[in-house]
C-alpha cells in the first residue's frame, strides 16, 4: 500500500525470494512508494542470506538509515510468513530520524541500552512527538537492563517500543541490522520524531493457572526455587508436561513457549516472563528477563479467544494514542509464543484483526523473543505479549 497525501508517509514491502539480494531489493522496492525516505525498518528470516538482503535494500535506497533484525516469522498486511523479508519505510519531512548501535551488549547490558538510546540526542527537536525504536538480542541476558539503560537517556517523556530478534526458535543466535552490517549481541535503535501523534498498545492475553506461588530463590533471570521446591520440577509437575520435555532441552523449549511465568503487577495485567530453557543440572528455569526473589508468580496458559481478545485491545490502545487521526501505518511486535498458541490458522486471523484496525494503512512486524514497550514508569520489557505501534 502506498503513502497517503501529506508530508508523512509509511509503506511496506515484502518478498520471499530464496536469493537474499533479490528478496531485499524486491521488498525495498515495494516499500519505497514515496519520496524522501527517512528510515527503513527491516525484518528478515534467518533462512536467507542476511548480508545479501541488506545489500539488496541498500541498492534500492542508498544512504537511507536502516535498522532491523532476524525473526521467528514476519508480518505484513496480507498475513504472516516465514523465510521472507519485510521492509517498512517511513518518509517525508514530517519525520525526523537518527539511528545508533551498541555492540557487545551481553557484557554491559545497561550501558548498551544507553548507548543505543543516545541517538535521541541527535534529533533537531522540531518534531513534537517522539518514540525510541529498539531491536535487541534477546539471548544476550536480562533485557530489562537494556530498557533501564535506554530509559536513563530517554527519560519519562519518550516512549520506548520494539522487540528482541529471533532465530526461528532455535535459540542459538540472533542478528541485528545496522545499515549494511549484520551483527550479533547488539542493540540497534532509531529515534523517530513526527509532527503527528504515535500510539502504543501492550496486551498479552495469558491467564493464570492454579494458585499463586512464591519465588523463594532466584538470581537475575534464573529461577532456582518456587515455593521452596526446585523450579523445574514444580513447573513440569504442575503443568503436567509431556515426558520428552523432562529430559530433552528442545522439547522443553517447545513446551515452555506456551506456558509462561506470570509475575504480579500493580498495573493490571500480570507481567509475563518467557521461560526460554531449563537447567536440568541445578533444576532452574531460565527466563529472558529478571525474576525477583520474594515475588508472587503463576504458571500461565492461553487460548485462541484470550490471545485474540488481547490483539484487539492492544490495537485499540495504540489507536487511542492518535486522537482523532487515522493511522498511516502499524508495526506489530508479536511474541513467538502467541503464535504457538494460535497455530497457522490463528496467526492469519490475528494479522487480519490487526489489519482491520488499521483503516487500510499498511501493517508490518515480526515474531519476537521478547517485546519492549515503556509508556510510563521504568518497567518496559515484556514477554509473550503483543506490542503495537501506530503512526499517524
Q: 363-374 pLDDT, tens per residue?
A: 999 999 999 999
What number of other Cβ atoms are within 10 A of residue 189's Cβ?
A: 31
Q: Please report the pLDDT score of residue 248 as a whole number.
A: 94
Under 8 Å between Cβ of 46 and 167: yes
Quote the CA–CA distance of 373 and 331 in Å, as a whole number.
12
State the Cα–Cα distance between residues 271 and 76, nearest whole angstrom.
Answer: 27
> pTM here?
0.86
> Using one digit for the tens of pLDDT, what is the confidence trace for 33-54?
999 999 999 999 999 999 999 9
pLDDT of residue 338: 84
Helix (H) or strand (E) segment spanning residue 44? strand 37-44
- When mean pLDDT is compared over 43-52, 206-215, 247-256, the highest value belongs to 43-52
Answer whether 123's CB lies under 8 Å from 91's CB: no
Q: What is the tens place of the pLDDT at every residue in 131-154?
A: 999 999 989 988 989 999 999 999
127 half-sphere exposure, CB direction, 13 A CA radius: 26
To 5 degrees, how large is the angle CA 261–CA 265–CA 267? 135
How do beta strands 37-44 and 66-70 pair?
A: parallel
Q: How confident is the model at residue 383 (pLDDT cuts 50, 70, 90)?
A: confident
pLDDT, mean over the chain: 92
Contact residues for 108 (Cβ-Cβ < 8 A; gap 6+): none
Residue 336 has pLDDT above 50, yes or no: yes
Cβ(203)–Cβ(314) below 8 Å:
yes
3-state secondary structure of 106: helix
Split at pLDDT 50, 70, 90, the class of 377 is: low
Q: What pLDDT is stored for residue 384 in this prediction?
A: 80
Using DSSP's 3-state secondary structure scheme, residue 193 falls into strand
Following DSSP, what letter does each residue of 304-350 receive, concatenated?
HHHHHHHHHHHHHHHHHTTTTPPPSEEEEEEEHHHHHHHHHHHHHHH
**Number of other CB atoms surrounding residue 62 within 10 Å:** 8
CA-to-CA distance for 124 and 167, rounded, in angstroms? 36
Q: What is the mean pLDDT of residues 59-69?
A: 97
Three-class SS state of 45 = coil
pLDDT at position 270 over 70: no
Amino acid at each position: 500500500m502506498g503513502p497517503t497525501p501529506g508530508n508523512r508517509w509509511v509503506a511496506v514491502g515484502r518478498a520471499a525470494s530464496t536469493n537474499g539480494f533479490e528478496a531485499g531489493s524486491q521488498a525495498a522496492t515495494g516499500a519505497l512508494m514515496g519520496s524522501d525516505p527517512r528510515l527503513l525498518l527491516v525484518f528478515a528470516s534467518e533462512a536467507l542470506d542476511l548480508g545479501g538482503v541488506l545489500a539488496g535494500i541498500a541498492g534500492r535506497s542508498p544512504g537511507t538509515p536502516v535498522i532491523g533484525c532476524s525473526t521467528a516469522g514476519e508480518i505484513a498486511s496480507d498475513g504472516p510468513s516465514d523465510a521472507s523479508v519485510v521492509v517498512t519505510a517511513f518518509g517525508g519531512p514530517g519525520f525526523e530520524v537518527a539511528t545508533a548501535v551498541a555492540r557487545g551488549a551481553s557484557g554491559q547490558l545497561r550501558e548498551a541500552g544507553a548507548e543505543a538510546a543516545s541517538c535521541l540526542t541527535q534529533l533537531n527537536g522540531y518534531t513534537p512527538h517522539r518514540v525510541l525504536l529498539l531491536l535487541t538480542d534477546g539471548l544476550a541476558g536480562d533485557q530489562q537492563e537494556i530498557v533501564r539503560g535506554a530509559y536513563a537517556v530517554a527519560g519519562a517523556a519518550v516512549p520506548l517500543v520494539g522487540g528482541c530478534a529471533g532465530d526461528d526458535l532455535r535459540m542459538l543466535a540472533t542478528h541485528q541490522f545496522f545499515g549494511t552490517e549484520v551483527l550479533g549481541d547488539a542493540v540497534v535503535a532509531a529515534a523517530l520524531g513526527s509532527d503527528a501523534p504515535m500510539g502504543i498498545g501492550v496486551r498479552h492475553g495469558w491467564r493464570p493457572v492454579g494458585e499463586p506461588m512464591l519465588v523463594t530463590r532466584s538470581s537475575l533471570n534464573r529461577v532456582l526455587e518456587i515455593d521452596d521446591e526446585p523450579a523445574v520440577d514444580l513447573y513440569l509437575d504442575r503443568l503436567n508436561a509431556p515426558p520428552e520435555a523432562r529430559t530433552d532441552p528442545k522439547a522443553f523449549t517447545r513446551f515452555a513457549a506456551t506456558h509462561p511465568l506470570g509475575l504480579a503487577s500493580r498495573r493490571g495485567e500480570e507481567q509475563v516472563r518467557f521461560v526460554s530453557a531449563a537447567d536440568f543440572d541445578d533444576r532452574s528455569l531460565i527466563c529472558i528477563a529478571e525474576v525477583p526473589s520474594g515475588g508472587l508468580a503463576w504458571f500461565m496458559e492461553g487460548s485462541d479467544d484470550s490471545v485474540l481478545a488481547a490483539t484487539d485491545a492492544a490495537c485499540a490502545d495504540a489507536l487511542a494514542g492518535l486522537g482523532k487521526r487515522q493511522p498511516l501505518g502499524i508495526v506489530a511486535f508479536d511474541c513467538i509464543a502467541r503464535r504457538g498458541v494460535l497455530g497457522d490458522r490463528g496467526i492469519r486471523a490475528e494479522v487480519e484483526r490487526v489489519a482491520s484496525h488499521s483503516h487500510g494503512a499498511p501493517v508490518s512486524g515480526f515474531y519476537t523473543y521478547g517485546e519492549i514497550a515503556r509508556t510510563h514508569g521504568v518497567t518496559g520489557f515484556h514477554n509473550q505479549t503483543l506490542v503495537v505501534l501506530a503512526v499517524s
